[in-house]
């Protein structure tokens, strides 16, 4: 999961580790010479990302964050992520990066990590947001629609593939109730001694609008959005960031995909920019998904509001990190920890 600051211009601090030390440790772990280790310009907020080359293979390592880095999530099971990526690639044909090695011990690099092959392509930017500038904003409408439809197809393919209960056991309890309960526990961990009334109102709203039938459970990507896809010629070539994968209704992914664009579009409008108002619209996304999967998305008001709540918890934690590192002060009103406060308030009312 990549993030952005309140000025939407600079990436946030994500790591306290020394790159030369990491290169030496990687070389020792592999028993082979590792070329210069670098971080991507937009490093992930949830896990640390490293680029390196070994024996001509371009690789990416994902490391669980250290405690001093003030992690976004309370726990990081990289072994489960590694397995989900493998399943998505082998069972669903989803172009998750090829998983190479997993190291569960923190001894080699200071925390568990896995290594995957590195793909090349373009990713819609978070910093500055793709609704502000960049290749997607400049693309022809037909190309953007092609990208949209092929991204929706990632979710349809993932959701429709067969998996056994044993293979998905590491993702925890299945279903919408378990998912929401998990988010409530995440909120309680994140907030510490600070209540955020807006997020608590959103949890109450969910209970008052609970779906009569949440529908069948499938393997969900979790962080399903275009900012986690690498494209060439508007076609996905790598599907990234699986740390939020879960077993639950299909609408979890669809609503997240729709809402995250709505979030970036709202930011553009705040800055009096046109953005992409005709991109990732709910009716078009749902129609494409129905055509590809045969499943008609349901309860989308509920699921989009839930997506806004989930994103609000993540953003509040991101802001806590910034406060911790002295990059911004604590706001007077804790609801301001939610960057999209005004949008969530509109959705609740």
The catalytic residues are: 223
CA distance 103 to 137: 39
Residues 6+ apart with CB under 8 A from 44: 1, 2, 14, 62, 241
- DSSP one-letter string for 64-91: PPPGGG--SSS---HHHHHHHHHHHHHH
The answer to whether 99 and 93 are in contact (CB under 8 A) is no
The token duo for 92 is 């669903």
Q: Burial code of 172-188, b = ≥16 C-beta within 10 A, e = fewer?
A: eebbbebbbeebbebbe
| Cβ neighbours of 274 (radius 10 Å) | 11
């Amino acid at each position: 999961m990549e993030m952005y600051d309140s000025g939407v211009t600079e990436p946030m601090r994500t790591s306290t580790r020394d790159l030369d030390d990491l290169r030496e440790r990687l070389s020792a772990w592999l028993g082979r010479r590792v070329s210069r280790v670098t971080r991507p310009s937009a490093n992930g907020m949830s896990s640390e990302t490293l680029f390196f080359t070994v024996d001509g293979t371009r690789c990416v390592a994902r490391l669980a964050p250290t405690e001093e880095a003030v992690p976004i999530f309370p726990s990081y099971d990289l072994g489960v992520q590694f397995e989900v990526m493998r399943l998505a690639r082998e069972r669903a044909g989803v172009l998750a990066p090829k998983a190479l090695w997993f190291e569960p011990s923190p001894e080699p690099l200071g925390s568990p990590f896995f290594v995957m092959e590195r793909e090349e392509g373009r990713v819609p930017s978070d910093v500055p947001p793709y609704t502000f500038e960049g290749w997607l904003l400049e693309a022809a409408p037909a190309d953007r629609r092609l990208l949209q439809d092929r991204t929706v197809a990632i979710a349809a393919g993932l959701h429709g593939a067969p998996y056994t209960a044993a293979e998905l056991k590491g993702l925890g309890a299945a279903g919408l109730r378990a998912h929401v309960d998990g988010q409530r526990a995440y909120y309680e961990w994140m907030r510490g001694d600070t209540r955020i009334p807006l997020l608590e109102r959103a949890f109450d709203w969910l209970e008052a609008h609970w779906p009569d039938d949440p529908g069948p459970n499938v393997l969900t990507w979790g962080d399903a959005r275009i900012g986690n896809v690498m494209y060439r010629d508007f076609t996905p070539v790598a599907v990234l960031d699986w740390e939020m994968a879960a077993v639950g209704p299909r609408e979890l992914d669809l609503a997240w995909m729709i809402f995250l664009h709505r979030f970036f579009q709202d930011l553009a409008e705040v800055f009096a920019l046109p953005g992409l108002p005709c991109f990732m619209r709910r009716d078009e996304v749902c129609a494409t998904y129905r055509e590809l999967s045969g499943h008609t998305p349901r309860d989308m008001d509920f699921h989009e509001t839930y997506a806004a709540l989930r994103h609000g918890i993540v953003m509040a934690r991101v802001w806590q990190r910034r406060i911790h590192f002295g990059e911004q002060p604590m706001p007077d009103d804790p609801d301001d920890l939610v960057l999209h406060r005004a949008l969530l308030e509109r959705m609740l009312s």
